[in-house]
């Protein structure tokens, strides 16, 4: 399997194709493929609505249509990120220090606060701008309240009554410091615990203009906190609606950009062609079905989709456009790919080491875990541009030999001879090549394990790691769980389109049942 994924050729038609369709575009539900298909069929629109790029000629669109489409795609991507990424958070905007936007913002803000300072310095003071700021603060504080916060709402409305404040200002009876004290106290009541110190520092600012400026800075942070609280609150509800929402948004996008499934079609066609060959039917026996009457072997669409997802773990991201329906998770699939490459090298090094070491050494769980951690640390920066795998494996070989000899001595066995050390270091060094036989075996077994994870039901026991992968099974399962969650969620959203593409070899829409 891994040979095919490593050597998948780039379709030249895909190269010349415009990349416009690429622009559109963890805790998803864990379900078995069988349950997944049932849910999709019961809750999805008829696959007859799925539009095929080959039957839909390109058309011109207006700027307004493009802007509307872009907005829909942005909303879809945001909803997707909230559901998929359990750590998703909105963060304050921080402009680059030397950017034009920051310089303009600083100039405008300085002019505003200087103007406020001039007004308050007049005799008698002019409070027009200050009262407007109080009004903004009032609206912001009220926006933080929940429906049940009646008492706090009444307090804010009563103390920050703008009509009363204007009357006090006209009569020279306005006490700005008293209003600021109330505002700071209310902010302390409503802010998240992480902002307590920041709000407390406001009490030390005595001048009105710097105080107002600091209040607005703190309120901006409180707005971000409130937004993140809202995100965490709606996530469980959004999870239930996001599948239909994403599919609906993608369908609307597809109607405006009919070629938005071209790369998906190419991706699934390659997976189908690979599995149709005898070599890959033997490698993936579960994918092959009974031969049709004169039509050749039939493939299970679920197996084709699973195999297509595995191909994404061997994708040439520099030279191949990513399929449109998985584009929002492009970075996640890249991360999986990098993690698996590191695990492949780690597994190959450990397999070589334990094959050469005495049987008693390989069976010692504490030593295996210690050796694994040492090699992992030395391979931590494996995918940085400055990282040289050959140099790192030289250091790994030296350290492994020291650890193995030390463990042999503790067990009362003879340490490695000079010749054995040289052989072990050479075999570890050879793992640097992607064509190294040991590395290829480990890579193939990892993909087999992931394929079994995709095909298995969550009610069944998790698949057992193939031989030789025992030392890295824990790390491999962590990647597999995240990978399967992401794949299952993607299937639930886009399987109607995949089924339509795979319905015939000509990739025509499926007819409704």
Instruction: Quick: pLDDT tens for 1-43.
Output: 544 454 443 333 333 333 443 333 333 333 334 443 444 344 4
* pLDDT given for residue 300 in this prediction: 82
The answer to whether 313 touches 336, Cβ cutoff 8 Å, is yes
* pLDDT given for residue 231 in this prediction: 79
pLDDT at 88 over 90: no
Cβ within 8 Å of residue 349, ≥6 positions away: 375, 393, 396, 400, 428, 431
Residue ranges of the alpha helices (H) in 312-436? 330-356, 359-362, 365-378, 389-410, 418-430
Q: How far apart are the first and last CA of the chain?
A: 34
Of the listed ranges 244-248, 279-283, 462-466, the one predicted with least confidence = 279-283
* pLDDT given for residue 384 in this prediction: 87
* pLDDT given for residue 17 in this prediction: 37
CA distance 415 to 409: 6
From the list 456, 458, 353, 357, the residue with the least C-alpha distance to 397 is 353
Stated pTM of the model: 0.63
pLDDT tens figures, 299-316: 788 888 999 999 999 999
Instruction: Tell me what the mean pLDDT of segment 75-97 comes to.
Output: 75
From the list 283, 287, 321, 316, the residue with the least C-alpha distance to 301 is 287
75: confidence class by pLDDT, cuts 50, 70, 90 = low
DSSP state, residue 290: E
The answer to whether 458 touches 30, Cβ cutoff 8 Å, is yes
The answer to whether 341 touches 383, Cβ cutoff 8 Å, is yes
Give the chain's length.
513
239: confidence class by pLDDT, cuts 50, 70, 90 = low
Strands (E), 241-342: 288-292, 296-299
74: confidence class by pLDDT, cuts 50, 70, 90 = low
CA distance 44 to 492: 9
Residue with more model confidence, 343 or 95: 343
CA distance 374 to 388: 17
- Calculate the average pLDDT of the chain: 79
- Residue 255: how many other CB atoms lie within 10 Å: 13
Instruction: Tell me what the mean pLDDT of segment 105-117 comes to.
Output: 90
207: left (phi over 0), alpha (psi -120 to 50) or beta: beta
- Per-residue burial over 62-100, b if 16 or more Cβ lie within 10 Å, else e, is eeeeeeebeebbeebbebbebbbeeeeeeeeeeeeeeee
CA distance 325 to 71: 17
From the list 4, 3, 5, 64, the residue with the least C-alpha distance to 336 is 5
pLDDT tens figures, 145-195: 988 899 999 999 999 999 999 998 888 888 888 999 999 999 999 998 989
Element (DSSP H or E) covering residue 105: helix 100-121
SS3 content of the chain, % helix, strand, coil (to 5): 70, 0, 30
């Amino acid at each position: 399997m891994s040979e095919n994924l490593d050597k998948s050729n780039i379709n030249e038609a895909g190269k010349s194709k415009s990349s416009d369709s690429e622009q559109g575009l963890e805790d998803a539900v864990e379900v078995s493929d069988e349950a997944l298909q049932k849910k999709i069929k019961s809750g999805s629109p008829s696959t007859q609505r799925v539009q095929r790029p080959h039957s839909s000629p390109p058309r011109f669109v207006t700027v307004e249509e493009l802007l509307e489409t872009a907005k829909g795609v942005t909303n879809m991507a945001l909803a997707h990120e909230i559901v998929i990424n359990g750590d998703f958070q909105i963060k304050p905007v921080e402009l680059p220090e030397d950017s034009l936007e920051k310089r303009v913002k600083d100039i405008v803000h300085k002019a505003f606060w200087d103007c406020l300072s001039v007004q308050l310095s007049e005799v008698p003071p002019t409070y027009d701008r200050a009262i407007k700021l109080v009004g903004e603060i009032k609206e912001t504080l009220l926006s933080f309240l929940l429906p049940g916060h009646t008492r706090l709402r009444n307090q804010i409305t009563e103390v920050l009554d703008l009509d009363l404040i204007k009357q006090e200002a006209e009569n020279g009876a306005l006490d700005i410091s008293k209003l600021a004290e109330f505002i700071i106290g209310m902010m302390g009541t409503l802010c998240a615990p992480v902002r307590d110190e920041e709000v407390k520092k406001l009490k030390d600012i005595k001048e009105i203009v710097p105080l107002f400026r600091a209040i607005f800075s703190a309120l901006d942070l409180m707005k971000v906190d409130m937004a993140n609280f809202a995100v965490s609150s709606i996530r469980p509800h959004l999870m239930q609606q996001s599948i239909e929402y994403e599919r609906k948004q993608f369908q609307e996008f597809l109607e405006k950009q009919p070629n938005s499934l071209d790369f998906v079609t190419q991706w699934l066609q390659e997976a189908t062609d690979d599995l149709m060959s005898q070599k890959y039917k033997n490698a993936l026996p579960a994918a092959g079905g009974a031969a049709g009457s004169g039509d050749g072997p039939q493939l299970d669409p679920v197996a084709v989709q699973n195999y297509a997802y595995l191909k994404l773990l061997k994708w040439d991201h520099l030279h191949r456009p990513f399929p449109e329906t998985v584009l929002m998770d492009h970075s996640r699939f890249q991360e999986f790919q990098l993690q698996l490459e590191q695990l492949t090298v780690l597994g190959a090094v450990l397999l070589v080491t334990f094959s050469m070491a005495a049987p008693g050494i390989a069976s010692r769980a504490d030593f295996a875990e210690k050796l694994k951690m040492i090699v992992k640390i030395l391979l931590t920066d494996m995918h940085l541009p400055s990282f040289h795998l050959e140099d790192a494996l030289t250091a790994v070989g030296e350290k492994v030999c020291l650890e193995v000899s030390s463990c042999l001595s503790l067990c009362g066995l003879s340490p490695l001879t000079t010749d054995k050390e040289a052989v072990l270091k050479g075999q570890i060094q050879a793992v640097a090549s992607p064509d190294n036989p040991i590395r290829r075996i480990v890579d193939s077994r990892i993909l087999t394990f992931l394929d079994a994870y995709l095909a298995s039901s969550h009610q069944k026991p998790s698949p057992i790691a193939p031989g030789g992968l025992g030392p890295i099974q824990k790390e491999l399962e962590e990647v597999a769980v995240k990978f399967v969650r992401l794949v299952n969620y993607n299937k639930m959203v886009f399987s109607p389109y995949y089924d339509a593409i795979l319905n015939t070899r000509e990739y025509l829409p499926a007819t409704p049942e």
